[in-house]
Amino acid sequence: MRSPIPTPKHGWREFWGEVGIIVLGVLIALGAQQVVDAIRWNREVAGFRASVREEIAINLGTYPYRAKQKQCIEVRLDELQRWLDGWRSGKPQSLAGPIGIPASRVIRTSVWASRDPGTFAHMPRAEKEEYAFLYDEFANNELHRLDERSAWIDLANFDRATMLTHQDQMQLQGLITRARLRDARLDDNAQRFIRRAATRSDLHPKDVPDPPVYDPNLCKRILPSVGITQTTVVRAG
């Protein structure tokens, strides 16, 4: 014998009506949770966006900070080249003071490095990709900055030198060439990425309070001027 199919006590219509109410309640609860989650993620994304944009703006500010020393850097490298050429031609001169070292600001990455995967996943794709691109370029620029600083630290070994051997001359030429290369790369990066950040993300360089003080020795003549007026010492601020 087949077992009889159970019948709801108050009929199938009332049964399905109750089921519908339950399902509707579940859907409303799920929808409300999605709204709550959307609000929370929007708040998290907005907070991260504000922080990372602030960090990027400060990093962009490292470019104009360094650019204020560009004239002094170029004049100093020209002086060092003339000094080296003088030794090569048998007309050596003495340096009148220390060579100096360009000042620089470190790139910040703490906000970007500590980004939450969930928050980052809820950002628009194009925005994420643009921020990632800028931080990749900051990392590349940091390599140039550190190598430039290394070259100038090595150049400082020639402060007040009274004699240049052939080996010294070879080393000095290499350092001058290396410093010029890094100067050109840093300058090119500054122009391109400040422009890109402004046009694509409406981001602009931002100063920081109490930046590193510029080295005043960098802008003081160490050889007699050759058709160039005295360079003004760059000051921080």
- The pLDDT tens digits for 27-59 are 665 665 565 455 665 788 889 999 999 999 999
pTM of the model: 0.77
Residues 6+ apart with CB under 8 A from 110: 55
- CB hemisphere CA count around 174 (13 angstroms): 9
Place of tokens 């900051």: 138
pLDDT at site 215: 95
Residue 101 pLDDT more than 90?
A: yes
Query: Roughly what angle, to the nearest 10 degrees, separates helices 125-155 and 12-60?
Result: 20
Report pLDDT digits (tens) over 51-90.
999 999 999 999 999 999 999 999 999 999 999 999 999 9
Q: Which helix (H) or strand (E) holds 46?
A: helix 12-60
Q: CA-to-CA distance for 229 and 232, rounded, in angstroms?
A: 9
Q: How do the domains of the chain map onto residue ranges?
A: 12-219
pLDDT at site 155: 97
